[in-house]
Every structure is written in C-alpha cells, then in structure tokens.
Amino acid sequence: MNSAEDLQQLASESLLAHYAEYCEGAVIVDAEARIVWMNERYPERLGIAVPEQVVGQEIEKIIPNSLMRQVVETGRPIMLDIMEFGDAAFVVTRLPLHDKAGKVVGAVGFMLYDDTRHVLSLMSRYQRLRSDLAEAKKKLAEARKTKYTFASFVGAGAACSAVKQAARRAARTTAAVLILGETGTGKELLAQAIHAASARIDAPFVAVNIAAVPETLLEAEFFGVAPGAYTGAERGGRDGKFKLADGGTLFLDEIGDMSPALQAKLLRTLQEGEFEPVGSNRLTTVDVRVIAATSRNLEKMVADGQFRADLYYRLNVITLRTPPLRERLEDFALLADYLVDSICRNQGMPPRGISAGAINRLCQHDWPGNVRELANVLERALLMSDSDTLEADDLDAVMPATPVDSPKVVSLRPVGMAEAVAQAEREAIRQALQSARGNKAEAARQLGISRAALYEKMAALGVDAQLA
C-alpha cells in the first residue's frame, strides 16, 4: 500500500503532465523568468513557427503581457487571470515552483481556456454570490436598526413626559445608561429610542436578554468564539454581541441576572474597551455604548453582595426610571387608543374604538404586567368582541373582577390627544413652578424652554402662578 508521502510525490509528478496534456497550453520558466519548456499546443496558440527558438528567452519577449516574472519574484501564485495576446484573450493560471528547501526556482503557467466565454458561467455565479451576500448583509444591518423612537413611548402625563425628557438628554451623550422599571414598562423601547435619537443612529443596536441565555453560553454570546476554540465550535469562529455592536449601542436587558464571574469580565470590557474572544489570546478593541436595564433592585443586590459595586457605578452614570402603568392614569385614554389601533392593524381588523367607560374599567386594575399586560387584555377583548367600540363589559370578560373599594375612577368624558397633552403640560408647569418656588426663570430652565415660552404657555393653558 502506498504511503501518504508516496501519494503526494505521485500527485506532484503527475500534476504537470496532466495539466500539460489537457489544458490549451503550458510553459515553464526558471528563476530568471526565462523560458525552459513549452508544450506543443502553446506555440500554436501564440503563433510561434519555431518553438525551439523560444527556449532561453525572457518570457516577456515572447508573451509581452505575461506575469510569470511576478510569480517568480514574489513566490505567490496567480490562480485565475485573463491574459491578452494580440487580439486574443486567454484564461490562465500561474504557480511558483519550489525546490526541497522551499526556495522558488521557477514557475509554471497554464492556458486553461483560449476563449474567455468559458468562464462567463463562473463569473456569473460569483457575481450572484456577491449580490446575495450584499443583500444578506443589508438585511442584517436593517435588523440591527431600531424599530422604536420617542414617539413610540406613548404618554403625555407628567411621569411619562419627565422620563422622555431625561432620555432625550441622555441621547445627546455617549454615557452609560441604566434603565430601572418593572417588567412591561417599556425599558427596551426607551433604549431603542435613545439610540435612534443619538449620533450612533446609523450604527447597530444589539440587544441581549441576559435572563434568556444559559449561563454557560453567556460569555460566548458576549465576546464571541475564536476559530477552533473547542470541539464543536464553528470553523470560522463567531462574533459576539460586543463585536456586532461595535460603533453602536449594546442593550443589556435584565442585567441583574448576570453571574459574578461574568460581571467581572463585563466590567473590564467597559473600562478598557477591549476583550478576548473565547479561546483566543488576542485582544479585540470595540467602541460600544452600553444601555442596561433591570426590574430588580440593584442597590439592594450591591448591599447584599450579589452585584459588583464597581460595575453598578460604571453602568449607573445616567439613571432612568420607567413609571409603572398604575402611576400613569392620565395616559390610559391615549395609550389604550394607540394600542387598540395598533392591534387592529396587526390583526387585519377594521378600525375599532374604546369607550370612556372601558377606560375607567382599565383604571381599576393594578397592571402588574404593565403595558405588555394591557396590550394582551385589549387584544383578547378585541378578538372576542364584534362591536365597533370596546365597552367595559367587553373588558370584564377578560379581566379579573374589580375590587369593591377600588378608588381608581377617572372622568367618563373621553379625553382627546390635544387635551391630554394640555393636561400634561399644565401639570409639568405647576410642578416646575412649585420646585422653583415661583421663580419663573428657574422653572423655565427646568422645563427646557425659554421664559417667554413659559409665559405664553401659562396664559394659553390658564396656569396661575399663585396656585401652582
């Protein structure tokens, strides 16, 4: 049985013979790029009457556009090329020849085709693959863009307006942001809105739900995997979320669920702007803005030793608190109307409405699941009702019973968007004037408007500074 070395030697010896026999032409040059041999077909293709006379000649004297000298001098092959000769064009390949010590001692060239049309199908496939790759990259880039803006954070009440104003200020910076709030209050929506309003809007927004990724996979999810890092790893390696978010924003949802070991690695990455992929010894540098969110009490976790204090301080540069739904009663009319309209569009239903009585019914509930729970209740009610307008009875069928002593009752008069905004502006102005103890210049500064604009709004909205 032949050994591997024998087979390799046999392949090397037969390669030249096979190529020379089946290709349209073959030529060998020495280390000085002088021709030492041509097969019988090549002189015919080149129109050479006496083939013996080309031996010893420099390759460029016989084939002016040849790049064989370049192959000899660099030791690098030119695997596929189109070479022009007079009015003809040939598809060629050029390979260096090495001695046993590895030194380049010459080169061999093969004319694969004497008609470039033979490679049109190959080039067509190559162009198609390039086009498919470009399209895939485009779709991936689109998927990394945000879907939400500040307009998507629906609400005109004081609490909602305050958090959106603070988030807009955060969007003008590159500082880390920590968003605190109960589940379903729109923490990721707010994070996307910050990214969309920032200078990084054209860069990726990458989100990771830490609670949804197994602990053993989190490090690879964050930092990626080097090629061949472990058995079963992808041959070409895999980029982690930090690399994918380079230049953009990385949103870390449920940061409180991160293990202490990974907290330390995350802290180093945030401090140094660099990390090592799993199985690699090379540092990768990234520029990532981090927005973290949690529904847990991080301060208590720090006090109990469950969360690193230094990481908490690194993340807690700008703090935003998304208000729970039970503290946004003034937003129910606007929010419910927005959700009903959105659900109808997504379900292919005709436009539906919601009555003032139904709004009052919604206000009786504590909404532990917040906006996510509200959207679920409204969708179920819409699917079970045939009326054009949702009534309180429609909601009773899909909601828990209302406590008898529930004090949460709002006006039965429907509130339009303009009036809801006006109510929110009145409340914001009153709070600012109270905080500034009647100093209108200071109140205007807190509201982010000019003093003249404050006077105009107070007059238009009927706000009395003495009663504020």
Positive or negative: CA dihedral 301, 303, 309, 313 = positive
pLDDT grade for 411, boundaries at 50, 70 and 90: very low
Strands 205-209 and 249-253: parallel
Residue 389 and residue 310 share a domain: no
Q: How far is CA 28 from CA 57, 369, 373, in A?
A: 12, 77, 77
**Other Cβ atoms within 10 Å of 416 Cβ, number:** 12
pLDDT over threshold 70, residue 283: yes
CATH of the domain at 454: 1.10.10
Q: Which residues contact 14 (CB under 8 A, 6 or more apart)?
A: none
**Range of the structural domain that residue 286 is part of:** 150-321
Name the nearest CA neighbour of 252 among 300, 218, 229. 218
> Does any domain span residue 406?
no
- Return the top range by mean pLDDT from 46-55, 112-121, 179-188: 179-188
**301 band by pLDDT with thresholds 50, 70 and 90:** very high
SS3 (DSSP) at 113: strand
Model confidence pLDDT, tens digit, residues 183-237: 999 999 999 999 999 999 999 999 999 988 888 888 889 998 887 666 555 666 7
Q: Are 113 and 99 in contact (CB under 8 A)?
A: no
- Which helix (H) or strand (E) segment holds residue 443: the answer is helix 440-447
| Same domain, yes or no: 72 and 161 | no
105: its two tokens: 């001692």
Domain boundary among 298, 321, 344: 321
Radius of gyration from C-alpha coordinates of the chain: 36
Given pLDDT bands bounded at 50, 70 and 90, which one contains residue 415? very low
Q: What local confidence, expressed as pLDDT, does residue 140 receive?
A: 59
Do 77 and 17 share a domain, yes or no?
yes
Residues 453, 458, 464, 467: what is their CA dihedral angle, to the nearest 10 degrees? -70
The encoded tokens of residue 245 equal: 């978010």
307 and 254, same structural domain?
A: yes
Are 99 and 186 in the same domain?
Answer: no
Which single residue is written with the structure tokens 């703090």? 319
pLDDT at residue 293 tops 80: yes
Q: Which of 287, 302, 321 is the last residue of a domain?
A: 321
Do residues 211 and 269 share a domain? yes
Does residue 182 share a domain with residue 157?
yes
CA distance 299 to 324: 19
Q: What are phi and psi of 295, to 5 degrees?
A: -100, 5
Q: Mean pLDDT across the chain, nearest whole number? A: 83
Q: Which of 98-107, 351-360, 404-413 has the lowest mean pLDDT?
A: 404-413
Q: Kindly state whether residue 373 falls inside one of the protein's structural domains.
A: yes
Strand-strand pairing, 284-285 and 205-209: unpaired
CB 62 within 8 A of CB 35: yes
In a domain, residue 367? The reply is yes
Model pLDDT, residue 280 = 82
What are the start-end ranges of the H helices in 63-157? 68-74, 120-143
Q: State phi, psi for 199 to the nearest 5 degrees.
A: -70, -10
Domain boundary among 321, 345, 366: 321
**Three-state secondary structure call for residue 84:** strand
**Do residues 227 and 79 both lie within one domain?**
no
* E-only strand ranges, 245-342: 249-253, 274-275, 284-285, 289-294, 318-321
Greatest Cα pair distance, the chain, in angstroms, is 112
Structure tokens at 31: 């280390």
Q: What are the tens digits of pLDDT across the range 84-116?
A: 887 777 888 899 998 888 899 999 988 877 665
DSSP code at position 102: S
Q: Taking residues 421-440, what's their average pLDDT?
A: 77
CATH number of domain containing 88:
3.30.450.20
Q: What is the mean pLDDT of residues 43-60?
A: 84
pLDDT at 434 over 90: no
Assess whether 317 and 197 both reside in one domain. Answer: yes
| Res. 467: pLDDT tops 90 | no
User: Among the listed ranges 280-284, 296-300, 307-311, 334-338, which one has the minimum average pLDDT value?
Assistant: 280-284
DSSP state of 388: S
* Within a domain: 51: yes
CB-based contact 320:182 (threshold 8 Å)? no
Q: Which of 105, 47, 116 is nearest to 81 (CA)?
A: 116
71 in a structural domain: yes
